[in-house]
Amino acid sequence: MKGIEAIELIRQHHPDMSTGECILLLNEGQKDFCRKTNIYKTSYTQLSNAGQRYYTLDDNILDIKEVHFNDVVIPRLIGKPIIDDDEFLSHTNQLADPSTSSNDRYWYLDTRRIAIVEKSTGRVTSRDDKSSQYQSCSVDDVEIRLLVTAYPTEFTQANIDSNMVLSLVPGSFERVIVDYVIANGYMLPSNFQPPAVQLFTAKYDNGAKEGKKFSNKSSGGTGKIVPCEF
C-alpha cells in the first residue's frame, strides 16, 4: 500500500484531514508500530578508524541484534573496560593510539554510540595503577556492519505518492498503521468520537500484538563476554 493510498482510506473517516496531518500521523504510527514490534530489520555500515573506539549510531536505530567486523560476527561485552583510550572529550593526558592488532574483537553500547574494542596482545593501557586488556580498534577502513531493528523511511510531501507504508517490512501490516491514524483523527477536539477511538485503537493494538509475534519468529543475537580487568 502506497502512502497516497493510505491517505485515501484515512479520508473515508476524516475527509478534512490535510495531507500534512496524514503524513505526520503515518510517520508517528510507523514509529510506534516498529518500536512495539521490532519488526523492521535492516543493516548499517561504517568503516573503522584506527584508535577510534566510539561510532555514533543513526537516530533511526532501535536495537542492535548483531555486529559484524570484516564479515565476522563479534560478541557483545557486558559492561565496559575500565580504561578508555579514545579521548572523546579532550586531548589532555592522551593515551597513545594502539600499535598492535588483535582479531579478538568485541562491541558494547555507550548511550547512542557503539564501541569496538579488541583484546590487546599485551597490557597496553595503564592508568592510576590499573591496567586493561582491551584497546580501541587498531585497523583502518574495515567494514563494521550492524544488523539492527529500526524505524522505516519516513513519508514526506515528495515521496508520499511512491513510498510504501512499512516499506520492506515483512507481513501485511499496512492497514494497522491506517487504523492508528484513524484512531488519532477521532481524538481531535473537532471530531471527538470515543466509540470510534476505542474501536480503532483496539484494532491497532491487536495488529501490533500480531506484528510482535511475527517479528519474534526470526529473532536472534550474539553471545556475551564479561570483561576481565586486573
Task: Please list the pLDDT of the chain residue by residue as tens digits (230 residues).
Answer: 999 999 999 999 999 999 999 999 999 999 999 999 999 999 999 999 988 899 999 999 999 999 999 999 999 998 888 888 765 555 555 555 565 667 899 999 998 999 999 988 765 556 677 777 888 888 999 999 999 999 999 999 999 999 999 987 877 899 999 999 999 999 999 999 999 999 999 999 999 999 999 998 755 444 444 444 43
Cell, residue 61: 536505530
The ranges assigned to domains in the chain are 3-40+154-216, 41-149
Task: Give pLDDT, residue 223.
Answer: 43
Cell, residue 50: 584506527
Answer yes or no: are the C-beta atoms of 181 and 22 closer than 8 Å: yes
Answer yes or no: are the C-beta atoms of 39 and 167 closer than 8 Å: no
Task: Give pLDDT, residue 137.
Answer: 87
Task: Give pLDDT, residue 224.
Answer: 46
**DSSP assignment of 59-103, as one string?**
TTEEEEEEEEETTEEEPEESS--S---S--S--TTPPPPP-S--S
Task: Give pLDDT, residue 174.
Answer: 95
